[in-house]
Structure 1
Amino acid sequence: MEYISTRGKIDSVGFIDAILMGLADDGGLLVPRHIPALSADTLKKWETLSYSELALEIFSLYIDGEIPREDLKKLVDDSYATFRDPEVTPVRRINDRLHVLELFHGPTFAFKDIALQFLGNLYSYVSRKNNSIIHILGATSGDTGASAIEGVRGKEGIRICILHPHQKVSKVQELQMTTVDDANVLNLSVHGTFDNCQRIIKELFADVSFKHKYHLRAINSINIARILAQTVYYFYAYFQLARKGETRTINFSVPTGNFGDIFAGYLAKRMGLPIGKLILATNENNILERFVKEGIYEPGEFRGTYSPSMDIQVASNFERYLYYLSGEDASAVSGLMSGFKAEGKIVIPADKLQQVQADFVAYGVHNDECLATIGTYYDDTNYLLDPHTACGVAATDKLAGDGEVTVALSTAHPAKFDESIQLVGITQTYPAQIEALFDKPQHQTIVDGTNEAIAEQVVKFYEAEA
Structure 2
Amino acid sequence: MQYLSTRGGVKPVGFSAAVMMGLGTDGGLLLPATVPQVGPAELRDWSDLGFRDLAVELMLPFVGDAIPRADLVALIGRSYATFSHQEITPLVQVGGQRVLELFQGPTAAFKDVALQFLGNVFAYLLARDGGRLNILGATSGDTGSAAIAGVRGKDRIRIFILHPAGRVSPIQERQMTTVLDANVHNIAIRGTFDDGQRIVKGLFNDLHFKQQYHLGAINSINWARILAQIVYYFYAWGRMSRGDPGFRISFAVPTGNFGDIFAGYLAKRMGLPVDRLLIATNRNDILTRFVTGGPYAAGEVHSTLSPAMDIQVASNFERYLYFLVGEDPAAVRALLAALDRTGCMQVTAEQRITLAGDFDAAAVSDAQILDQIRETYERHGYILDPHTAVGVQAARHRADMVCLATAHPAKFNDAVHRAIGIQAPPPPCLRGLLEKETRCVLLDATEEAVRGHIRSTLAASGDRP
Q: Scaled by the length of structure 2, what TM-score is found?
A: 0.97
The gaps in structure 2 that reach 5 residues or longer are none
Relative to structure 1, is the Cα distance of residues 348 and 426 closer, same or farther in structure 2, using a 3 angstrom cutoff? same
Task: Give how far 1:460 is off.
Answer: 1.6
Relative to structure 1, is the Cα distance of residues 245 and 327 closer, same or farther in structure 2, using a 3 angstrom cutoff? closer
In structure 2, the residue matched to 1:128 is 127
In structure 2, the residue matched to 1:373 is 372
Task: Give how far 1:332 is off.
Answer: 0.6
Counterpart amino acid of 2:4?
A: I
In structure 1, the residue matched to 2:412 is 417
Q: What percentage of aligned pairs have identical amino acids?
A: 50
Task: Give how far 1:242 is off.
Answer: 1.7
Q: Distance in 2 between matches of 1:223 and 1:465?
A: 28
Q: Distance in 1 between matches of 2:426 and 2:333?
A: 47
Any residues of structure 2 matched to 1:62-77 within 5 Å, and which?
62-77=62-77
Q: Distance in 1 between matches of 2:123 and 2:372?
A: 41
**Residues 159 and 462, structure 1, Cα contact 8 Å, conserved in 2:** no
In structure 1, the residue matched to 2:328 is 329
Counterpart amino acid of 1:380?
A: R
Q: CA RMSD in A?
A: 1.3
- Corresponding residue SS for 1:65: coil
Any residues of structure 2 matched to 1:4-15 within 5 Å, and which?
4-15=4-15
Any residues of structure 2 matched to 1:45-56 within 5 Å, and which?
45-56=45-56
In structure 1, the residue matched to 2:345 is 346
- Corresponding residue SS for 1:294: coil
Q: Distance in 2 between matches of 1:274 and 1:208?
A: 41
Q: Distance in 2 between matches of 1:345 and 1:412?
A: 31
CA offsets, 1:34-79, max 9 Å, x none? 0011110011011111100000111101011211111111000100
Q: Distance in 2 between matches of 1:212 and 1:204?
A: 10
In structure 2, the residue matched to 1:443 is 439
In structure 1, the residue matched to 2:145 is 146
**Residues 245 and 273, structure 2, Cα contact 8 Å, conserved in 1:** no
Q: Scaled by the length of structure 1, what TM-score is found?
A: 0.97
Deviating runs (4+, > 4 A) in structure 1? 244-248
Number of equivalent positions: 461
In structure 2, the residue matched to 1:462 is 458
- Corresponding residue SS for 2:431: helix
Counterpart amino acid of 1:363?
A: A
Task: Give how far 1:433 is off.
Answer: 2.6
CA offsets, 1:212-270, max 9 Å, x none? 00000000000000000000000001101123989864210000000000000000000
Q: Distance in 1 between matches of 2:233 and 2:458?
A: 37
CA offsets, 1:313-335, max 9 Å, x none? 01010100000000001111011
The gaps in structure 1 that reach 5 residues or longer are none
Relative to structure 1, is the Cα distance of residues 321 and 250 closer, same or farther in structure 2, using a 3 angstrom cutoff? same
**Residues 190 and 447, structure 1, Cα contact 8 Å, conserved in 2:** yes
**Residues 295 and 348, structure 1, Cα contact 8 Å, conserved in 2:** no
Counterpart amino acid of 1:17?
A: A
Q: Is 1:80 aligned to 2:80, yes or no?
A: yes
**Residues 256 and 311, structure 2, Cα contact 8 Å, conserved in 1:** yes
Q: Distance in 2 between matches of 1:34 and 1:71?
A: 24
In structure 1, the residue matched to 2:60 is 60
- Corresponding residue SS for 1:358: helix
Task: Give how far 1:432 is off.
Answer: 3.1
Q: Distance in 1 between matches of 2:412 and 2:462?
A: 35
Counterpart amino acid of 2:317?
A: F
Relative to structure 1, is the Cα distance of residues 275 and 365 closer, same or farther in structure 2, using a 3 angstrom cutoff? same
CA offsets, 1:160-201, max 9 Å, x none? 000000010000000000001110000000000000000000
Q: Is 1:177 aligned to 2:176, yes or no?
A: yes
Q: Distance in 2 between matches of 1:246 and 1:171?
A: 44
CA offsets, 1:144-169, max 9 Å, x none? 00000001101110000000000100
- Corresponding residue SS for 2:279: strand
**Residues 106 and 112, structure 2, Cα contact 8 Å, conserved in 1:** yes
Q: Distance in 1 between matches of 2:127 and 2:246?
A: 46
**Residues 284 and 303, structure 1, Cα contact 8 Å, conserved in 2:** yes
- Corresponding residue SS for 1:300: coil
Equivalent of 2:403 in 402, 405, 408: 408
Task: Give how far 1:95 is off.
Answer: 2.7
Relative to structure 1, is the Cα distance of residues 142 and 410 closer, same or farther in structure 2, using a 3 angstrom cutoff? same
In structure 2, the residue matched to 1:193 is 192
Relative to structure 1, is the Cα distance of residues 421 and 258 closer, same or farther in structure 2, using a 3 angstrom cutoff? same
